[in-house]
C-alpha cells in the first residue's frame, strides 16, 4: 500500500498529473452526465442477450409466436426433427446453417414456436 502511495506521489512530482493516478484507489470521479453515459452504454451492451430469443432466416426473423408453416417457408426443412408429448405435440427442429453460422434449435408446441436456442457452430453435411 505504501509503495502505491509513493509511486503515485513520485509520478505526480515528475509531472504526470493524470486523473487515473489521483489517490490510491484508482477510481475516477465521474460527473453525473458521464455516469449516465456509462450506464447507458452498459445497458446497450446487455441487449445482444435479449436477441437470443429468435433466429434469422434470410431477411426474416423467427421468434416466439411464429407458425411452423412460416418457419418451413422461410428457413426450409430442418436438419433434424425430434417429437415428444402426450396431450399436445412438442417438436424440436434443429437447423444446421453450416460451419460459419450457429445451429439453432426451435421448440414448437401445437404448431407454434415457443423457444429458439443457439447451439454452437454448425458443420458441413456429408
Cell numbers 424440436 label which residue? 92
pTM as predicted: 0.57
* 84 phi-psi bin (left φ>0, alpha ψ -120 to 50, beta other): beta
Cross-strand pairs, 84:
90
Range of the domain at 89: 53-121
Is the CB of residue 28 less than 8 Å from the CB of residue 19?
A: yes
CATH of the domain at 81: 3.30.1450.10
10 domain residue, yes or no: yes
- Please check the confidence at residue 51 and state whether its pLDDT lies above 50: no
Cell numbers 434443429 label which residue? 94
pLDDT level of residue 88 (50, 70, 90 thresholds): confident
Tell whether 112 and 95 lie within a shared domain: yes
- Quick one: how far is CA 100 from the chain centroid? 17
Amino acid at each position: 500500500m505504501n509503495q502505491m502511495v509513493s509511486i503515485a506521489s513520485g509520478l505526480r512530482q515528475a509531472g504526470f498529473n493524470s486523473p487515473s493516478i489521483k489517490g490510491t484507489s484508482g477510481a475516477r470521479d465521474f460527473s453525473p452526465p458521464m455516469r449516465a453515459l456509462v450506464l447507458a452504454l452498459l445497458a446497450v451492451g446487455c441487449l445482444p442477450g435479449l436477441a437470443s430469443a429468435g433466429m434469422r432466416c434470410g431477411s426474416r426473423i423467427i421468434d416466439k409466436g411464429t407458425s411452423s408453416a412460416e418457419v418451413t417457408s422461410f428457413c426450409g426443412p430442418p436438419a433434424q426433427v425430434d417429437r415428444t408429448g402426450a396431450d399436445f405435440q412438442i417438436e424440436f427442429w434443429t437447423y444446421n446453417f453450416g460451419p460459419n453460422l450457429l445451429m439453432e434449435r426451435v421448440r414448437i408446441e401445437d404448431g407454434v414456436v415457443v423457444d429458439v436456442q443457439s447451439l454452437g457452430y454448425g458443420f458441413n453435411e456429408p
